[in-house]
Structures are given as structure tokens and as C-alpha cells.
Amino acid sequence: MSAVPYLAGLRLAGRRVVVVGGGVVAQRRLPALLAAGADVVLVSPEVTPAVEGMAGAGELGWERRRYAAGDLAGAWYAMALTDDPEVNAAVVAEAEERAVFCVRADDAPRGTAVTPASGEQDGVRIGVLTWGAADERDPRRAAAVRDGVLEALREGRLDDVRRRVADPAALPGAVALVGGGPGDPGLITVRGRRLLAHADVVVADRLAPRALLDELRPDVVVVDATKLPRGRAMQQEAITGVLLEHARAGRFVVRLKGGDPFVFGRGSEEMADLVAAGVPVTVVPGVTSAVAVPGLAGIPLTHRGLAHEAVVVSGHVSPDDERSLVDWTALARLQGTLVILMGVDTLPRIAEVLLAGGRKPSTPVGIVVDGTMPTERVVVSTLADVARAAADARVRPPAVVVVGEVVAVRESLRPAGP
């Protein structure tokens, strides 16, 4: 059995790291080195397209040739990642002579350093190493242990650890504007879920993932924003008042919104009010329904040869309403994809204006109702018939409407079945 490896964290910012080999292994290892701020020099006659992109963007230096003795001069750390055992052995030998620690990908026990299976959760980065020739040549055991620890942290099963790694934004008297995603509780971001776990108060939208509220601690105060005074201006004023009230009382408040806070979510209005009041605010972006709902229903917003543009627009105000800020005539001239949110009630008039502006009557239209939820259903029609189709299908909000040739792609993306 090989000696137990010594765990250490390397500070590589600004320090020369030489990587020999530009294949898929390098493609996996390079991002962590770049994130650490290392001055990476890559030596390889060929590289993967992704690695070439890193070099083209100036993230690393690429020596487009085979390894040669002397390449490790001035290096603090090295990686031998080629598929040629002789080259890798030569790199390790030079590293040994220069007292430079070196990872050898094809035969880990013969290197002088080992890359741990690493991951990050709740602001803590963990690394797992196994040793012994068999384990070092097959890193799946270390990866399995890492994944188990990260999952336990995410799910709160390591309570003592979790309490010590609270998100720095979860401060008394602070507010987090969290995008909850399109509805399915599994589509909230990792950080969004983490901040919910630390919340003292949660102010939730009607479209926020309701299932997440069941995971909150029993002592968390939940405020249903849909039950606050009606009328758009009055409701927004009341929501801001609730956020300020609890923040000023020294509580950590999460404002849980459907989709993304800054995509037709009035998150910027709430943030502006909080900033003006001197309350610390953190924004956690969410997966917007404009992209996620069509995608999960099999409708891509862009598709080669069909759509080179995708425009997201609010349909809550009818095109002929003087309050409308949308140039529907201009949108009618577009050849790409049009995504309409909050447009169920105004859909008949929107279709009329798009047709009058030049959109073809045969243009496919997809309406995804209750997207990402168990009750999801999709209504497919044409622009000429969509008003009737929506009425016949009894379409009700929430629904995302997609206008464009990409809707027809859905048939080819649906899995075969009975």
C-alpha cells in the first residue's frame, strides 16, 4: 500500500503551472486551475475545442508542440495528462528533479501529487482522497464519498456542519430576493435553496415553488404576498412594507419569487426601495419560465436554420391599450421566436396584431400551461387559429406562449412511446 497522501491547499494565484496534454482530461482539470488564478502554460500539439477556446480567450498560454525537457522550468506545479505513458513518465521525472509536485493522470501512484475529488457547498470546499494503488487508479470511490457528503450538506443531514457554513448573505436585518424558478421545486438554484434554509421570514409569490415552503423550519414566518392588499401599486407598497418591517426587526428575510426576480418580477422595484431604506439586499437569479418552460416542453427558443433570435415580451397589457410599451408591429416583422408571458387574456388581440403586421397565419404557436408542474399541458395551434384553440382548451394562467417555427421542432424531440 502506498503512503497516505498529505492534504494541502495550494495557493496558485499568479504562479506558473505547466499542463502537458490538451485532451479531455486537461479540459476537466483546467477550469479549477484557472479559477485558482494560476498562470497556466499548456504544452500539447493538439487540444480539444473547449481548451482551444480557453487559449483563444487568453485564459492560458498554449505551446502548440510536444513536451520537451526543460518545459517545467519555473513551475510551481505540473500535470502530466497525455495518453502517452512515456511522455507522462518523462514529465514526472523532470518534476522530481526540479522539486515540483506533479500529477500523473494515467498512473496516479507514480505521480508526486494527487488531484482530490472536490466540490463546494454552503461556502465550504471539500476534497476527498483515497490511497492504495487500486483506489488511486480508480477514483470512483473518492467521487462517491464526495457526492455523499455534498448531498448530506444540501439536505441538512449534517446539521452540525450546516450551522457552521451559513451563507454570508443570511444576516439579521438583510433581505434576499430569490428567484424560485418556473414552478418545479427542483429547479431553484442551489444558493436559493440554501438561503431559504436560513430564513426567518419568507414572503412568497403565488407563482413561487409552493412545495419549498414545506421544507422550512417550523418557526419560519411565511407571508403570502397574494393576500396583501390588491391593486398593483398598493400591493407592491404593502410587500415592501412587510420586507422592511421584518428586516428592521433584525430578521433575515427571503423574498421568494417565481422565475427570475428581474424578468417581469418587479424585483428591481423592491430592491430600489430596500436600498433607499438602507437595508442590505442580495439578489439570487432564478431560472426564468420564458426559457425553462418551453424547453422542458420540447420547444427550443432557437434552432439552427429556423430562429436566430428570441424575444421575451409581457402580454399583460393589450396591444391597443395606451399603457402598452410594446411595439407589436415591429415584433410582427421578426422572423425568430416570440415568447409571451402573462398573455392568456390578451392572446386573441395579440394574434390579430401580429397577423396584421405580417406574420404568416400558418406560424406555429405553442401554449404551455402549468409548465414544469404535474398538471402541465401543451396546446399547439397556428397563429390564425390560436385564439379559438386556447378557448377550446380552456387555457388559464399561468401559461407561456411561444410563437415561431421552433414550435414545430417539438414533434421531433418527443420520446417515442405508446
Task: Determine the residue type at 101.
Answer: F
φ/ψ (deg, to 5) at 104: -120, 115
Residue among 113, 117, 97 at smallest CA distance from 105 = 113
Alpha helix ranges (H) inside 199-281: 232-248, 267-276
> In the chain, what's the furthest Cα-to-Cα distance?
79
- Annotated active-site residue 257? The verdict is no
Go through 240-264 and write b for each residue having 16 or more CB atoms within 10 A of its CB, e for each that does not. Answer: bebbbebbeeebbbbbbbbbbbbbb
- Annotated active-site residue 320? The verdict is no
Element at 99 (helix H, strand E): none
How far apart, in whole angstroms, are the C-alpha atoms of residue 401 and residue 380?
A: 10
How far apart, in whole angstroms, are the C-alpha atoms of residue 109 and residue 136?
A: 6
Task: Determine the residue type at 72.
Answer: L
Catalytic residue, from 71, 184, 205, 260: name it.
205
How far apart, in whole angstroms, are the C-alpha atoms of residue 287 and residue 295?
A: 12
Residue among 76, 82, 40 at smallest CA distance from 58 = 40
Go through 276-296 and write b for each residue having 16 or more CB atoms within 10 A of its CB, e for each that does not. Answer: eeebebbbbbbbbbbbbbbbb
Cell of 247: 428586516
Coil vs helix vs strand at 179: strand
Q: Do 405 and 340 touch, CB atoms closer than 8 A?
A: no
Cβ count within 10 A of residue 170: 18
Catalytic residue, from 227, 321, 327, 392: name it.
227
The catalytic residues are 205, 227
